[in-house]
Amino acid sequence: MSTILDALNAINSTDSKTSKKSGSELGKDDFLKLLMAQMKNQDPLNPMQDKDYIAQLATFSSLEQMTNMNTSLNNFLSNMSTNLLQFSELIGKKVSYIVISEDGKTTKVEEGIVKSVERNKDGFLVQLTNGKSTYTEYISKIS
């Protein structure tokens, strides 16, 4: 009768050409290899029940979804927090910003104190205490 240790040994012997993870960390591929080794080495007189197989596949599916969600969430938080924190340092500071005329031919520089920063579909919008707003790309001076 085979055991979990036999299945793990089978995984390690067939996986010698690929890179190993550090420590006792197992990934999606390791989980599937373990499941396949378990199915190959099961006792013919006492085979794995359908419900056990389905439960293991459901566990694998949940693991994969959690891993994908964790990766997506980490990417989102990394992008959001870096940019938003960077621009939040402008709050309370006096900025000079470029204002382009409606015809697009002339520009002038105005000043204001930053009240808040928000992100929208066009970029980072800086709200000023004078009631005006500008995008961060038009800021030319911070004091």
- Matching residue, tokens 């990766």: 71
CB neighbour class for 50 (10 Å; exposed up to 12, middle 13-18, buried from 19): exposed
Residue 101 amino acid letter: S
First-to-last alpha carbon distance for the chain, in angstroms, is 75
Helix (H) or strand (E) holding 14: helix 4-14
pLDDT above 70 covers what percent of the chain?
Answer: 78
Provide the Cα torsion 70, 76, 77, 80; round to 10°: 180
Is the model's pLDDT at 53 over the cut of 70?
Answer: yes
Confidence of residue 49 (pLDDT cuts 50, 70, 90): confident
